[in-house]
């Protein structure tokens, strides 16, 4: 476990490989663990960094002191993380919420971001499915948090609809959920639900790749079309055999696609 101390709280991250840096950002309810295979595969050519957003994943005993757990603050976290480690600029690879953060960071800190890869990410928060939208309301989130055992049971069952290997995904998600708080649960998805990047996507000048699973039930796959419309320079890769986790459903094609884009753009 590697911990980086920042003004807003500790940041846990894992790193692997040597070469040009690449940052990997997880989605809502997730952690760096999503990228276990990816950091090793990309690590053959790059120095990979998989970090936990404030309020998610591995945390020190002192807990998080982050002012908030909003999507905007996670963009700031990425910039601060790079500053602390002396990473001048790097590509950002983000899954789901992590991809939204990546696009936002590219708009806010264009000098820091070389390329962006988003995987099943919402450009517009209204593209989230109804369950995730409801989770953005504090009353609903609080009710869910009163019955953690039922939440974990639901997530295990729902995992079979989100990825081909539902058992593996269920184990990962329930482990990650056990480490978060109601505040990070509610505020992150609440701000993601309200996000709309369309008005500023035309400010992004660096190469962008969108990877979207055709059978995604978490984020409407039409977000790939939206990304292409508002960021015309972007490329879209449709994964016909994938749901919300292409890195799990079609791992070979996923890692080949990501590697080629990082090398060639």
Counting residues of the chain whose pLDDT is more than 90, the rounded percentage is 79
pTM equals 0.95
84: containing domain: 2-264
What is the rounded average pLDDT of the residues 12-17?
96
**Among the listed ranges 47-61, 71-85, 108-122, 251-265, which one has the minimum average pLDDT value?**
47-61
- How many domains does the structure of the chain reveal? 1
The answer for residues whose C-beta is within 8 angstroms of residue 122's C-beta and 6 or more apart is: 96, 97, 100, 128, 192, 195, 219, 220, 223
Rounded distance, CA 243 to CA 215, Å?
A: 5
CA gap 220, 151 in Å, rounded: 23
**Average pLDDT score over residue span 89-94:** 98
Among 52, 1, 6, residue whose Cα is nearest residue 26: 52
In the prediction, which pLDDT does 16 show? 96
CATH code of the domain covering residue 228: 3.40.50.1820
Q: Between the CA atoms of 207, 94, 127 and 104, what dihedral angle is there, to the nearest 10 degrees?
A: -60
Q: How far is CA 11 from CA 6, 51, 56, 67, in A?
A: 7, 7, 9, 14
Structural contact between residues 40 and 50, judged by C-beta atoms closer than 8 angstroms: no
């Amino acid at each position: 476990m590697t911990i980086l101390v920042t003004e807003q709280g500790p940041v846990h991250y894992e790193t692997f490989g040597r070469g040009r840096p690449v940052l990997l950002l997880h989605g809502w309810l997730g952690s760096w663990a999503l990228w276990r295979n990816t950091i090793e595969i990309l690590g053959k050519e790059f120095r990979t960094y998989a970090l936990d957003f404030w309020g998610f994943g591995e945390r020190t005993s002192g807990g998080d002191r982050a002012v908030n757990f909003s999507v905007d603050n996670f963009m700031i976290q990425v910039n601060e993380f790079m500053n602390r480690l002396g990473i001048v600029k790097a590509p950002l690879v983000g899954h789901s919420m992590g991809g939204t953060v990546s696009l936002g960071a590219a708009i806010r800190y264009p000098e820091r971001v070389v390329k962006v890869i988003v995987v099943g990410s919402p450009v517009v928060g209204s593209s989230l499915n109804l369950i995730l939208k409801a989770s953005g309301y504090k009353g609903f989130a609080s009710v869910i948090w009163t019955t953690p055992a039922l939440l974990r049971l639901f997530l295990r069952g729902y995992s079979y609809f989100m990825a081909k290997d539902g058992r593996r995904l269920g184990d990962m998600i329930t482990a990650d959920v056990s480490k978060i708080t109601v505040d990070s649960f509610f505020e992150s998805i609440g701000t993601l639900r309200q996000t709309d990047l369309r008005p500023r996507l035309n400010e992004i000048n660096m190469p962008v790749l969108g990877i979207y699973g055709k059978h995604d039930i978490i984020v409407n796959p039409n977000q790939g079309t939206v990304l292409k419309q508002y960021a015309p320079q972007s490329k879209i890769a449709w994964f016909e055999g994938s749901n919300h986790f292409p890195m799990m459903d079609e791992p070979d094609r996923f890692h080949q696609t990501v590697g080629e884009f990082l090398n060639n753009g």
